Amino acid sequence: MDTLIDLFANAQAALYESVMQPIAFAVGLGNRLEDVFDGTGWLLVGLIQIAIMVAVIGPLQRWRPVEEVTNKPAVYTDVIYTLIHRLGLFRVVLFLLVEPVLDTLLGELRVQGVGTFHLEDLWPGVTDGPLTSFVLYLVVFDFVNYWLHRAQHQWNWWWALHAVHHSQRQMTQWTDNRNHLLDDLMGAVIWVCIAQLIGIAPTQFVAVVAITQLFENFQHANLRVSFGALGERLWVSPRFHRLHHAVGIGHESKSKAATSVGATLGGHNFGVLLPWWDILFGTANFDARFEPTGIRDQVEQGVDYGEGFWSQQRLGIKRLMQALGFSSVR
């Protein structure tokens, strides 16, 4: 583990010194070099993730695909989403627009006496070990992700944005980042706030995010794989998550069909890494099948969710405004 950390640190330093530091000076960010160095770490993580996606997950998809990919432009759009997120463009916006506000708010909380709770100090000598604390934080953030994901499917206004993600009818490894930018922004803000409140170290936070994202890529893959009766209950598989995206199954309640933005939503298989939460809270569906993906009104009524990046973002905002009561928005 120490060897991997050292290799990453050396690579980060080399990328920073040879590429990112000169760019920072050129664009007038010489007074933010510490932040630029941190951003270099995220950029390196993204490059590693993309390399694994291409070298490992891609061949697996070609080995056992669920379906033939017939709409390649839709997949190319998903690639654009992935590059925006994994190569740091989204994080730059977060850094420039949101982080200063969060720093001010969190600083005010500390002035009011609300300090950071260090989760790893729960059981000194046990939970404060590097590996143990990492696993602890991974489980905690996965629990947070489960409830965030349920909220995205339960609140009509949030589903209006999250529907961008579910509108992909040709799921591949690139589909994970197909999200409305406002949806991603809200999730990122919540993650950063929780990270600050529970005291996770920056290096561990990067590791938790990186591992979570990479497995999400795997789960969205066009891959006919399940983990068996026991494995499916220990870790989210591509089959388990594909059911979450399945038309009429993954994002509809048992009582009402979610045929429009105004319908009552629900669904199954909200877990990101661990299916434990779905089992515990009664939202698990372990049916051994691979279903077509998409949204019911998209498939049955031809509702337009957009074909390209900008149309998907624009229509997401339109649905959001309608869900909030601004029905005249065009």
* Rounded percentage of the chain residues whose pLDDT exceeds 70: 91
pLDDT of 289 > 70? The answer is: yes
Residue 1: predicted pLDDT: 63
Residue 265: predicted pLDDT: 63
pLDDT band at 313 (very low <50, low <70, confident <90, very high): very high
Q: Residue length, the chain?
A: 330
pLDDT band at 103 (very low <50, low <70, confident <90, very high): confident
Residue 260: predicted pLDDT: 44
Q: Tokens 């490059």 — which residue?
A: 47
Rounded to an integer, the average pLDDT of 179-198 is 91
Residue 67: predicted pLDDT: 97
Rounded to an integer, the average pLDDT of 24-47 is 89
Q: For 25-34, 66-75, 106-115, which range has the lowest pLDDT when averaged over its residues? A: 106-115
Rounded to an integer, the average pLDDT of 126-138 is 87
Residue 266: predicted pLDDT: 77
Residues 49/86, Cβ–Cβ less than 8 Å? yes
Which residues are CB-neighbours of 285 under 8 A, at least 6 positions away? 243, 249, 250, 268, 269, 278
pLDDT of 84 > 80? The answer is: yes
Rounded to an integer, the average pLDDT of 142-149 is 97
pLDDT of 252 > 90? The answer is: no
pLDDT of 330 > 60? The answer is: no
**Pick the residue with more confidence: 225 or 121?**
225
pLDDT of 264 > 60? The answer is: no
Residue 329: predicted pLDDT: 52
**Pick the residue with more confidence: 16 or 123?**
16
Tokens of 103: 């720093």
Residue 262: predicted pLDDT: 39
- In angstroms, what CA-CA distances link 241 with 191, 223, 285, 297, 321? 22, 11, 10, 20, 29
pLDDT of 114 > 70? The answer is: no
The model's pLDDT over 290-309, given as tens digits with 9 standing for 90+, comes to: 999 999 999 999 999 999 99
Residue 259: predicted pLDDT: 44
Residues 176/82, Cβ–Cβ less than 8 Å? yes
Beta strands in 15-113 (DSSP E): none
